[in-house]
Structure 1
Amino acid sequence: MNIRPSAAIRQNYNEIADMCRKTAEPIFLTKNGEGDLVVMDIETYNRREKMLKLREELLAVEEDRMHGSTGYSVGEVAAMMRSAIKEAAGHGKTE
């Protein structure tokens, strides 16, 4: 965990930005000795947001399954995939 005083962002922005990119980890900034902000590079932020969204989707699916929601068979999924591929390729009607 990398912790810096908040003044470091003003005084050493490039160093902080480089450190965020190199480590792909957030940097925690303190103000008056207390946690104040978290800084991270945009790629790390986007990756974390995608992971959180995926986890939320997986949790929702699992909750649905636990409440009795039925899924699709392998054959049904394969048919849907073939249909989507044909549609995307512009080969005419979907099944």
Structure 2
Amino acid sequence: MNIKPSTALRNEYTQISELAKTSGEPIIITNKGEADLVVLSVDAFEEREKMFRHRDKVYEAEVARLSGMPTFTPEQIHEELEDLYAAAEK
């Protein structure tokens, strides 16, 4: 993780932008020695958002499983899909 003062954001925008893109890591911008902002490339931001959405779905499935919702093995799902495909071909 990189830390830069707020003046760097103003004076070195191009370099900070390039650093964010090449490192894929957040850059913390400080103001008067205190953390103030986080700069992240759009690609890294979108990748993090995708990971968070995936994590939410896994969590949701686990909560459903623990709540007693029925679960299926991969074999059961495969068999069900085969039956659906066979019915669609008729």
Using the size of structure 1 for normalisation, the TM-score is: 0.79
Separation in 1 of the partners of 2:89 and 2:9?
55
Aligned to 1:64: 64
Runs of 5+ in structure 1 lacking a partner? Answer: 87-92
- Indicate the structure whose relative CO is greater, using CA pairs within 8 Å and at least 6 residues apart: 2
Greater percentage in helix:
2
TM-score by length of structure 2 reads 0.83
Q: What is the alpha-carbon distance in structure 1 between the residues aligned to residue 63 and residue 38 of structure 2?
A: 32
- SS of residue matched to 1:70: coil
Q: Identity over aligned residues, as a percent? A: 31
Q: What SS is found at the alignment partner of 2:28? A: strand
- 1:80: which partner in 2? 81
Partner of 1:49: 49
Deviation, 1:72, is 2.6
Q: For the aligned residues, what is the CA RMSD?
A: 2.2
- The number of equivalent residue pairs is 87
Structure 1 outlier segments of 4+, above 6 Å: none
